[in-house]
Amino acid sequence: MLAALALWACQPEIGDSCANAADCSQTADRTCDTTLPGGYCTEFGCSGDTCPSEAACIGYQGVVSTALECADLQARPRLLRTVCMRTCRRDSDCRGGYVCVDMGQPNSWGAQLLDSSGSGRVCSLPPPPPAEGESEVCGPSAPLMVPPPELPELDAGTGDAQ
């Protein structure tokens, strides 16, 4: 029993670095997201209030576009991907390369807090820089003006191109 308690006490937490799923859990209840720098111990497929106490459930890809003009056109989040993310109060609560981001507020990823309580602040990669320029994806746009192709001149007497 003492060995089981010691194993449980040493279990990595959500947000810890990893190289594979075994680094995050011996019981397969957590996995390693190797798409993030240094790996990120997490649980995929969470729903509101189901993550361990050190984490919050965050939904990504819940919107097709973060452009404000697209808000009215977005349907139900069929592409939603949910993950447990390490909660934090400030950047120093996160490991190197990660910052404390409030996913409960509008953000660059269009991510959303799915838990019913908590601040929504989680250890994440720094937000990407804002997009530059204008996007007419969801708004009215000018018609596409394509110049007509240049046609060869025809000789009226022979019908051959010159």
pLDDT profile of the chain (162 residues), mean per 10: 48 94 91 96 94 93 60 58 95 96 87 87 88 58 54 61 54
Distance CA 16, CA 23 (A): 9
The three-point CA angle 109-113-119 to 5° equals 115
What is the per-residue pLDDT for 28? Answer: 84
How does strand 41-42 pair with strand 55-60?
A: unpaired
Secondary structure element (H or E) that encloses residue 85, with its range? strand 81-86
Q: Taking the CB of residue 122, how many other CB atoms lie within 10 A of it?
A: 29
| 8 Å CB contact between 24 and 54 | no
Predicted pLDDT of residue 116: 87
pLDDT given for residue 5 in this prediction: 43
Enter the pTM of the model.
0.68
Domain positions in the chain are: 11-124
Q: What is the pLDDT of residue 60?
A: 86
* Residue 52 near residue 87 (C-beta atoms within 8 A): no
Q: Which residues contact 35 (CB under 8 A, 6 or more apart)?
A: none
Check residue 46 and give its pLDDT: 94
- Looking at residue 18, what is its pLDDT? 97
Asked if 49 contacts 94 with a C-beta cutoff of 8 angstroms, the reply is: no
Element (H, E) at 9: helix 2-9
pLDDT at 2: 44
Confidence at residue 129, expressed as pLDDT on a 0 to 100 scale? 76
